[in-house]
Amino acid sequence: MVNFAAASLVGLSCLSTIISAAPFVFDNNPFGKNFPNPDKNQISAIQTQAHGSIPNAKPPATVKPSTLTTLRFIAFNEIFEVAFYTQLIQNITNYVPGYEIKDEKKKQKLLANLVAIQAQEEVHALNANNALKNFKVDPIQPCKYSFPVDNVNDAIALASTFTDLVLGTLQDIEQTLAMDGDAGLTRGVAAVIGQEGEQNGYFRTFGGKIASALPFLTTSTRDFAFSALNQAFVIKDSCPNSKDITLKIFNPLTVDVGDLPKDPKPQNIKFSFQLPEGGVKPEWKSDWTGLSLAYINQQNVPVKAQLSGVKVDGSKVSFEALFPFDAGTFGNGLTVAALVNADADFSTAVTVSNSTTVFGPALIEVN
Ligand SMILES: *[C@@H]1O[C@H](CO)[C@@H](O)[C@H](O)[C@H]1NC(C)=O
Ligand SMILES: *[C@@H]1O[C@H](CO)[C@@H](O)[C@H](O)[C@H]1NC(C)=O
């Protein structure tokens, strides 16, 4: 199980001891590709490494404003992914402690996959930014990043988790494109969904799991994904123009699942969050029944769980909630958890994400 929100909080609380690694920045042009502004020759090298090209078909003449938000989000996410895979390749190649792979064959196979994946993410990012330029708006620029992992196995597990979240979010993107009548972009997005799914099959296999997690992958929303990226990976205030992305950044919700057994049973899971400015809100009620936990898993109606054992320690609130695992119906693969007002509309991931109060997402991975 992996939870990058929790991991990032651990990272923050141990700042003085583990921040030896400087934030990742593109400025020093790590692979000589001048990303995210490669010239013609560099683009052609990237495409060769990616085993394929930026689509050369003409984009639609115009798109709706919410589709511009989507394209900006896609660029923001893909640039983050490029940063992650760039640093991961550097760590493995440079024998960084925790990233040494003794078995040379295994190492070469992993690097061959990661080099292609890194370049494929570059192509995705360039395509989204080209679309923005085509619509006469500013392309998204890179932020500074840090990653809450320090060894190869955790790094690949983390890649699998954020890829799962992206796979859920691209569903939200397809639906919003459809609702807004921007059908011209849906084929390309569907092509990326399959592509990221292939990546994740490899990551899951690397981690000793079966390649395909679920019959219908867990859904998510753009707000959840934008929140997770900002909470876990982006160095605060380091993004030149992420303000152009009019999505929400929720307050974090941390999950501590410990070591769930391979065959988990219904069980309580521990969560915590920091009180926002102004402290406990009256609508949460003195017995905390004003808040509920939402578990989003697969394509099913979100599951509502009550808070139990709530404890307030300074500004930290911790509680437990039942994770009603059932091998056939609930809890395998990615579960997106969020703490919301108890009277929220629990009918879909989108209505949960649109609740008046939202802490999250906390990401839980099983099997
Ligand atoms: C690369 O290694 C450094 C040093 O351990 C670590 O801080 C960073 O998170 C690693 N990056 C990735 C993507 O694994
Ligand atoms: C959710 O909120 C977004 C942005 O405010 C809005 O466009 C959308 O219609 C809402 N959807 C639902 C199902 O509430």
β-bridge partners, 312: 317
pLDDT, mean over the chain:
93
Q: Which ligand is nearest to the CA of 176?
A: 2
pLDDT at position 326: 97
pLDDT at position 17: 37
Q: What are the angstrom distances between the C-alpha of 289 and each of 38, 152, 315?
A: 53, 42, 19
Give the model confidence (pLDDT) of 90-137 as tens digits.
Answer: 999 999 999 999 999 999 999 999 999 999 999 999 999 999 999 999
Out of 245, 296, 350, 352, give the residue to mutate to test ligand 2, the one with the largest number of ligand atoms within 8 Å of its CB.
Answer: 350
As a residue count, the chain comes to: 367
Please, which pLDDT band fits residue 147 given cuts at 50, 70 and 90?
very high
**Mean pLDDT, residues 303-317 taken together:** 97
Task: Check whether 189 has a pLDDT greater than 70.
Answer: yes
Quote the CA–CA distance of 24 and 84 in Å, as a whole number: 8
Please, which pLDDT band fits residue 224 given cuts at 50, 70 and 90?
very high
Residue with the two structure tokens 């064959």: 105
Give the model confidence (pLDDT) of 23-82 as tens digits.
Answer: 999 987 878 899 999 999 999 999 999 999 999 998 899 999 999 999 999 999 999 999
* Cβ of residue 96 lying under 6 Å from some atom of ligand 1: yes
pLDDT at position 27: 85
Contacts of 198 (CB under 8 A, 6+ apart): none
Tell me, yes or no, if the pTM score tops 0.75: yes
* Cβ of residue 351 lying under 6 Å from some atom of ligand 2: yes
The burial class, CB within 10 Å (0-12 / 13-18 / 19+), for 95 is exposed
Secondary element (H or E) of residue 267: strand 267-274
Number of other residues whose CB lies within 10 A of the CB of residue 19: 12
Quote the CA–CA distance of 89 and 79 in Å, as a whole number: 15
The 3-state DSSP class for residue 294 equals strand
Among 6-15, 46-55, 247-256, 286-295, the range scoring the smallest mean pLDDT is: 6-15
**DSSP symbol at 185:** G
Q: Which ligand is nearest to the CA of 66?
A: 2
pLDDT at position 14: 31
Quote the CA–CA distance of 317 and 290 in Å, as a whole number: 14
Residue with the two structure tokens 């199980």: 1
Give the model confidence (pLDDT) of 260-293 as tens digits.
Answer: 767 789 999 999 999 999 999 999 999 999 999 9
Residue closest by Cα to atom 1 of ligand 1: 91
